[in-house]
Chains A and B, each alone.
Chain A
Amino acid sequence: MNVRMTVATGVRVLTQLRHDLRTVGLLVLVPVLLEALVKWVYSDQDRVFQRVGVPLLGIFPLTSMFLVTSITMLRERTSGTLERLLTTPIAKFDLLAGYGLAFGTVAILQGIVVSIVSFGFLGLEVEGPIAGVVALAVLNAILGTALGLLVSAFARSEFQAVQFMPAFLLPQFLLSGLLAPREQMAGALEALSNVLPMTYAYDALTRVAAGDGFGGRLALDTAVLAGTTVLSLALGAATLRRRTP
């Protein structure tokens, strides 16, 4: 790992984003608007809003970061700059980590804004520390970035990349436990949900909301989320081919 090249790549991606403030605005605002929409939908059932509101603080950023990074990476490929970079000394992992760094920075902004609005204005409440929720929201956004980079290796066009979102994230969403408790699912589905990252995102945020201490299951959840992030980046680097047909 070369820190200089990773940071240079992160700065480069952020500089590109600075020329595209509309995208940054959407990244930060969309989770906020969705969270407000959920509040509105359940305006007569505050109990439901309290139950789903916190996990969604992680799941919305994960989804939006997944999409935007997979498209950005694909653009790097189709514009020819990826081929050019792969002929330079930069390692594939450093390139992806640079992306992770840039979008991770946006993720921090996104996580903080959506948390401020949800806790400050939408009346969301948690037993545990709000900082813990913010940290998990950011971690989820970074996970979304890493997963987006991974799947972009398999997409050949923007159309395919966009399709990966429903194909890859929606099943995770359905099985995460948010819509139905996992214990009540068919055995095969529960087993499947055990290996899907979003399950751990849901579990972690639910536990912080319930005021569980950081230890036991919550620590495990966090470790799984962080581990999946690093694993995705490493797998993404491994699947990124230097030589193409």
Chain B
Amino acid sequence: MTSPAIEIDSLRVVRGGKEVLPGLSIGIQAGRITGLLGPSGCGKTTLMRAIVGVQIVAGGRVTVLGLPAGTRALRSRVGYVTQAPAVYDDLTVGANLRYFAKILGAASERVAAVVETVGLTGYGDKLVSQLSGGQRARVSLATALLNEPEVLVLDEPTVGLDPVLRQELWTTFHELADRGTTLLISSHVMDEAERCDELILMREGLILAHASPADVLLQANASTVEEAFLNLVGTKERAG
């Protein structure tokens, strides 16, 4: 068992007058892919924002690589891909990546490398505003891969992508994890769960389960993650 790269202790977040995370504690293992799954609105993005240090928190502690979340020293060591692509529409793919490379202190050769990783070779001179939604999301993903950070927080990075490209990206994620990168990847596509080393199932700001995919299935006496999720929700509701 490796040590946790991200430690969250009694994290409480209130958004728009609503308690989104009522007091969440969890450790995320280093060098592994942890999948964060749960229905829309359950607090996945909120949790990720707290980990990268852009979410106002009402209480609790978030520690990343031994430092408080969002600390200056962490900002080159933690990469974040927002759920909605965060790239400049009025710049080309190449110009976007060259800018982020400068900000992240990545070598300019990395630009061509990440363009290839996300399958956008040949699109370097295209304006982002002329790309499809999925292509735009890939440019956004590419910006976070530039400086090969130790921790990657990816908010639904494979939404709307075709199976072939999704397969390729997951291969990339596994290569990164093999080299020691910690990945936290959210999704509400339950079939992606199998590709993760660890799963966190979330509902309404609470953690239903946190274990390897196989153990989650075992715990919930289920054959698919979707079924596991439904069983766990049922158990909680009977218990509560």
Residue of B nearest to A94 (CB): B103
Q: What residues on B are CB-neighbors of A89 within 8 Å?
A: 72, 75-76, 103-105
A93 CA / B89 CA spacing, docked (Å): 24
Most chain A Cβ neighbours within 10 Å, of B52, B53, B54, B57: B54
Of B76, B86, B105, the residue contacting A79 (CB under 8 A) is B86
Shortest C-beta distance, B91 to chain A (Å), equals 6
Q: Is A81 an interface residue (CB 8 A)?
A: yes
Contact stretch, chosen from A8-16, A146-154, A212-220: A8-16
Q: Is A156 an interface residue (CB 8 A)?
A: no
Count, chain B residues at interface, CB 8 A:
33
A44 CA / B103 CA spacing, docked (Å): 56
Known A-B contacts A88-B104, A89-B105; A242 and B88 likewise in contact (beta carbons under 8 Å)? no
The 0/1 profile, CB within 8 Å of B marked 1, for residues 1-34 of chain A is 0001100110110011001100000000000000
Does the CB pair A244–B55 fall under 8 Å?
yes
Residue of A nearest to B104 (CB): A88
Q: What residues on B are CB-neighbors of A85 within 8 Å?
A: 103
Q: What residues on B are CB-neighbors of A8 within 8 Å?
A: 99, 102-103
Does the CB pair B89–A20 fall under 8 Å?
no
Residue of A nearest to B13 (CB): A245
Q: Is B229 an interface residue (CB 8 A)?
A: no
Does the CB pair B55–A243 fall under 8 Å?
yes
Shortest C-beta distance, B153 to chain A (Å), equals 9
Contact stretch, chosen from B36-44, B77-85, B113-121: B77-85
Q: Is A158 an interface residue (CB 8 A)?
A: no
A12 CA / B54 CA spacing, docked (Å): 23
Of B16, B87, B91, B105, the residue contacting A245 (CB under 8 A) is B16
Does the CB pair B100–A88 fall under 8 Å?
yes
Q: Is A80 an interface residue (CB 8 A)?
A: yes
Count, chain A residues at interface, CB 8 A:
25
Of B15, B76, B82, B105, the residue contacting A84 (CB under 8 A) is B82
Q: Is A43 an interface residue (CB 8 A)?
A: no
Q: Is A163 an interface residue (CB 8 A)?
A: no
A108 CA / B53 CA spacing, docked (Å): 38
Q: Which of A123-146 contact B (CB under 8 A)?
A: none
A5 CA / B143 CA spacing, docked (Å): 16
Residue of A nearest to B79 (CB): A87
Q: Is B90 an interface residue (CB 8 A)?
A: yes
A242 CA / B85 CA spacing, docked (Å): 19
Q: Is A190 an interface residue (CB 8 A)?
A: no
Shortest C-beta distance, A149 to chain B (Å), equals 17
Does the CB pair B15–A245 fall under 8 Å?
yes
Known A-B contacts A8-B103, A12-B91, A19-B127; A245 and B56 likewise in contact (beta carbons under 8 Å)? yes
Q: Is A86 an interface residue (CB 8 A)?
A: yes
A87 CA / B56 CA spacing, docked (Å): 14
Of B57, B80, B84, B87, the residue contacting A87 (CB under 8 A) is B80
Does the CB pair B90–A87 fall under 8 Å?
no
A81 CA / B143 CA spacing, docked (Å): 11
Q: What residues on A are CB-neighbors of B91 within 8 Å?
A: 12, 15-16, 19
Q: Is B70 an interface residue (CB 8 A)?
A: yes
Q: What residues on B are CB-neighbors of A242 within 8 Å?
A: 53-54, 70
Does the CB pair B103–A88 fall under 8 Å?
yes
Q: Is B24 an interface residue (CB 8 A)?
A: no
A41 CA / B136 CA spacing, docked (Å): 50
Q: Is B217 an interface residue (CB 8 A)?
A: no
Q: What residues on B are CB-neighbors of A15 within 8 Å?
A: 91, 95
A84 CA / B53 CA spacing, docked (Å): 11
Q: Is A52 an interface residue (CB 8 A)?
A: no
Known A-B contacts A89-B76, A242-B70, A244-B56; A81 and B95 likewise in contact (beta carbons under 8 Å)? no
Does the CB pair A80–B84 fall under 8 Å?
yes
A202 CA / B140 CA spacing, docked (Å): 46
A83 CA / B54 CA spacing, docked (Å): 7
Q: What residues on A are CB-neighbors of B56 within 8 Å?
A: 243-245
Q: What residues on A are CB-neighbors of B86 within 8 Å?
A: 79-81, 83-84
Residue ranges of A at the interface with B (Cβ–Cβ < 8 Å): 4-5, 8-9, 11-12, 15-16, 19-20, 79-81, 83-90, 242-245
- For the complex with contacts A81-B87, A243-B53, 9 further pairs of A-B residues with Cβ separation under 8 Å are A8-B99, A16-B91, A80-B85, A83-B82, A84-B140, A87-B70, A88-B75, A89-B75, A243-B70
